Amino acid sequence: MTLVHPLIDHPAVIAMRQRVAEIGALLFDRFLTDAGGGNITARVRTDAGDVLCMSPRYSGSRHLWRLQPDDVMVIGLDGAILAGAGSISRESKVHLRLHNEFGAHGSAVIHAHSRNTLVFCALNRPMPPVLEQTRKFGTIPVVSYAPAHSQDLADNIAAAIRGSEARIEKQAAAALAPWHGVFVIGKDLEAAYDAVERIDTNAYILLMGGRAASDADFSAERANLEAAVRRYSG
């Protein structure tokens, strides 16, 4: 059954449903998520209240991330479906937790199965920044294991993000879920997407460095570069 809510015709909601569909396709085409999963939410603020535009369940496996705007769900901050014919993402617990706790700082959440970042998730390892473009995110933490779609996972991700509100306001903050993927909350949808791609590029550089990226000399060089950056930034 297709549910319809008055806000479905709000210009900002129409535009955001389109944008969520576009970002989903971009993530998939650039190997930043896969057919196995990933999900997107973006908050729309209106005089009649705030709503979330969310990629529907099975966006990858059934739609191959070729969503139409009408496929994108419109939900309340309590998870109630306001518009759309599908079901909300199974990872909605994390999205709702982040939007409700950090909504004053950011308006978009992306969970992605990014090809290079997944290696760090599989190895249960945090990811240090090794590029100027990723220093703003700090070391991406890896949270304690909790099953996908669970409230414990939502709690763990929120705990890892907590304290990074300034990073969200500047661009985004992220956390890795073991054996699962990356969660990013950004100041807006474009900022969240940009962060997902930067983090995956950072992962690629570390992986291409192989042993060199984990040995003592590499750690020393990172420390030297950090010191140089601090001298320039005052």
pLDDT tens track for 69-107:
999 999 999 999 998 888 888 899 999 999 999 999 999
pLDDT tens track for 28-38:
999 999 999 99
Rounded to two decimals, the pTM is 0.90
pLDDT tens track for 177-231:
999 999 999 999 999 999 999 999 999 999 998 854 666 656 776 677 678 677 7
Can you name the CATH fold of 6-233? L-fuculose-1-phosphate Aldolase (3.40.225)
Give the span between the Cα atoms of 34 and 114, in whole angstroms.
7
Domains of the chain, residue spans? 6-233
3-state secondary structure of 39: strand
